[in-house]
Amino acid sequence: MIVLKDILYKVPIDSVVGNTSVAITNVHFDSRQVALNDVFVAVRGTQSDGHRYIIKAVEQGAIAVICEELPAQIIHGVTYVKVIDSASALAVIAANYYENPSRNLKLVGVTGTNGKTTIASLLYQLFEKAGYKVGLLSTVKIMVAGEEFKATHTTPDSLTINKYLAAMNAAGVEYCFMEVSSHGIHQKRTEGLHFAGGIFTNLSHDHLDYHKTFAEYRDVKKKFFDELPKEAFALVNIDDKNGSIMVQNTKAKIVTYALKTVADFKAQILENQLSGLLLKINSQEVWVRLIGSFNAYNVLAIYATGELLGLEPIENLQLLSQLESVSGRFQYLISKGNITAIVDYAHTPDALKNVLETINDIRTKNEQLITVVGAGGDRDTSKRPKMGHIASALSTKTIFTSDNPRSEDPNAIIAEIEAGVEPLHYKKTLSISDRKQAIKTACQLANPHDIILIAGKGHETYQEIKGERFDFDDYKIVEETLKQLEK
Ligand SMILES: CC(=O)N[C@H]1[C@@H](OP(=O)(O)OP(=O)(O)OC[C@H]2O[C@@H](n3ccc(=O)[nH]c3=O)[C@H](O)[C@@H]2O)O[C@H](CO)[C@@H](O)[C@@H]1O[C@H](C)C(=O)N[C@@H](C)C(=O)N[C@H](CCC(=O)O)C(=O)O
Ligand SMILES: Nc1ncnc2c1ncn2[C@@H]1O[C@H](COP(=O)(O)OP(=O)(O)OP(=O)(O)O)[C@@H](O)[C@H]1O
Ligand SMILES: N[C@H](CCC[C@H](N)C(=O)O)C(=O)O
Ligand SMILES: [Mg+2]
């Protein structure tokens, strides 16, 4: 039996109306999911306010309500707990309800604009190959010791996080790697978790619709490091100018990694090819099957984390060379007709620039680089012209198309992307709003040895248009189209 006051442990409370010794069944922050004897936590959101649904939750059987403001109408038999901050209370309640599962394993959070999925997924692979039971919470999927679950967010809500961590406890998981998004930190989805370490990848332009200014976005990321406990490690990319800012106020042990600067963990790129990277890490050579100089940072962060969590350096290096690429991250095929098609999740200006520069480093001048790219609807609009500028400047030909238009007009998004194209690059671009048609056109324009980059959607298996999700898989489409054209 779970009692309300037990799950309120360490929640900053303002006042209580009713009895906190009542038995409760479940906890929800969505009134539509509330059933008899559940607790409803009213959270203020971006579209609506959970406080509006308190009456509905009580009608559905809620025995207790956690809120920042008491409702005008108090129902007898229901306990009302007024808290300072509902989102924060929800996170602490979630951890209490599932018996603090983050304390029974080593939890490492990865934050930064790009590279979170890559690092978290490859750490999952590394520790699994080292013989441990491992957990993963990522944009692509959730893993509990080999069992796969669907991911809906990069960082899920605090109840979902703790639910999966509890399942990991039950499965005997020793290490869990999770992505920590800026939305996740800002909405306090990760509060109340006990982290053994935090990793900072890099910081560049993204989500400025939500966070408004770059400084605000940076400070939200920094908050994750501010809150790490002193026994944790804070592993930071010190080549990124925001790396030192991230750990300015952390209590955790600061460990640095870099390619260009003096750091605790240092790497050098010896070779950079389409088949992989040859790196020198802390004076040892290692070959990895990951492509692009940005992946040298990811590999170095993974190596350093392995060592910080106790892997032997030799074993660590051996396992690094066995890692397989992550779905939708520089995932490529070479067709029968010798056309290389690359599918990559680059959906920020910086990621797009990195991927294009990597391809330009690898290709020879007579091969064309044909890029297919768009930008998501209902998301940061200021990145659109930047992406248009970068794609057109760094590709031989660029086809602008739709990403997930969501509620927006696809052609209006494309017009904003086109606005960033410099006049001298105009003639190298065309726009086709139907993404499938855009991919097909890229395939038709490609000659043997050319490279096609399809950016922005990576592993996604849908396209979201006007609230509906249609099946869509960049990799499958380009694979099938090239097969048909080369029949
Ligand atoms: C903008 C945003 O982050 N929104 C998240 C937020 O929803 P919200 O604030 O819009 O909620 P709301 O609709 O205003 O509702 C307020 C409250 O009323 C409750 N409610 C609402 C209706 C009702 O009938 N009854 C009821 O109780 C809701 O459950 C909610 O608690 O809280 C929800 C619950 O945790 C999230 O599912 C939701 O994510 C939406 C779906 C989303 O698209 N989020 C994206 C932007 C996101 O979080 N992305 C990051 C990755 C970003 C990156 O690439 O780095 C991620 O971590 O996934
Ligand atoms: N260390 C890095 N530095 C810069 N760009 C990177 C790095 N790692 C990956 N990228 C680029 O960013 C894209 C997204 O990578 P990844 O999915 O690992 O990032 P993410 O941080 O998880 O993104 P999201 O915020 O959408 O979850 C990749 O497809 C690649 O183009
Ligand atoms: N986690 C990112 C994913 C963007 C992926 C891109 N395909 C899009 O739909 O904009 C976001 O929610 O902003
Ligand atoms: Mg991710």
Calpha distance 331→271 (Å, rounded): 19
Mutate to test the pocket of ligand 1, among 68, 88, 183 (most ligand atoms within 8 A of CB): 183
The confidence score (pLDDT) of residue 184 equals 96
The confidence score (pLDDT) of residue 487 equals 85
CA of 365 to the centre of ligand 2 (A): 27
Helix (H, G, I), strand (E, B) or coil at 349: helix
Burial of 470 (0-12, 13-18, 19+ CB in 10 A): exposed
Q: Would you say the CB of residue 116 lies under 6 angstroms from ligand 3?
A: no
Report CA dihedral (336, 452, 298, 244) to the nearest 10 degrees: 170
CA of 305 to the centre of ligand 3 (A): 27
- Which residue minimizes the CA distance to atom 15 of ligand 2? 115
- Confirm or deny that 403 is annotated as ligand binding: yes
Q: Tell me the pTM.
A: 0.93
Mutate to test the pocket of ligand 2, among 110, 111, 114, 206 (most ligand atoms within 8 A of CB): 114
- Confirm or deny that 115 is annotated as ligand binding: yes
- Confirm or deny that 116 is annotated as ligand binding: yes
- Confirm or deny that 112 is annotated as ligand binding: yes
Report CA dihedral (145, 149, 154, 156) to the nearest 10 degrees: -90
CA-to-CA separations, 67 to 36, 45, 198, in angstroms, rounded: 19, 13, 31
Calpha distance 430→411 (Å, rounded): 12
Q: Would you say the CB of residue 456 lies under 6 angstroms from ligand 3?
A: yes
| Angle (nearest 5°) at CA 264 between 263 and 267 | 70
Q: Would you say the CB of residue 404 lies under 6 angstroms from ligand 3?
A: yes
CA of 409 to the centre of ligand 1 (A): 23
Instruction: For residue 78, give the amino acid letter.
Output: V
* Chain position carrying tokens 């920020």: 348
* Ligand 3 atom closest to Cα of residue 458: 7
User: What is the chain's pLDDT, residue by residue, as a tens digit (487 residues)?
Assistant: 999 999 999 999 999 999 999 999 999 999 999 999 999 999 999 999 999 999 999 999 999 999 999 999 999 999 999 999 999 999 999 999 999 999 999 999 999 999 999 999 999 999 999 999 999 999 999 999 999 999 999 999 999 999 999 999 999 999 999 999 999 999 999 999 999 999 999 998 777 777 778 888 898 999 999 999 999 999 999 999 999 999 999 999 999 999 999 999 999 999 988 889 999 998 899 999 999 889 999 999 999 999 999 999 999 999 999 999 899 999 999 999 999 999 999 999 999 999 999 999 888 878 999 999 999 999 999 999 999 999 999 999 999 999 999 999 999 999 999 999 999 999 999 999 999 999 999 999 999 999 999 999 999 999 999 999 999 999 999 999 999 998 8
End-to-end C-alpha distance for the chain, whole angstroms = 65
Helix (H, G, I), strand (E, B) or coil at 214: helix
The confidence score (pLDDT) of residue 474 equals 98
DSSP 217: H
For 221, the enclosing helix (H) or strand (E) is helix 214-226
| Angle (nearest 5°) at CA 180 between 240 and 307 | 65
- Confirm or deny that 187 is annotated as ligand binding: yes
Q: Would you say the CB of residue 202 lies under 6 angstroms from ligand 2?
A: yes
CA-based nearest residue to 412, from 389, 431, 435, 428:
431
DSSP 250: -
Q: How many residues does the chain have?
A: 487
Q: Would you say the CB of residue 139 lies under 6 angstroms from ligand 2?
A: yes
Give percent helix, percent strand, percent coil of the chain, each to the nearest 5: 35, 25, 40
* Chain position carrying tokens 């129902």: 75
CA-based nearest residue to 150, from 141, 137, 159, 162:
141
Instruction: For residue 133, give the amino acid letter.
Output: K
- Which residue minimizes the CA distance to atom 9 of ligand 2? 115
CA of 378 to the centre of ligand 3 (A): 10
* Ligand 3 atom closest to Cα of residue 464: 9
Asked if residues 379 and 416 have their Cβ atoms less than 8 Å apart, the reply is: no
Helix (H, G, I), strand (E, B) or coil at 208: coil
| Angle (nearest 5°) at CA 282 between 277 and 286 | 30
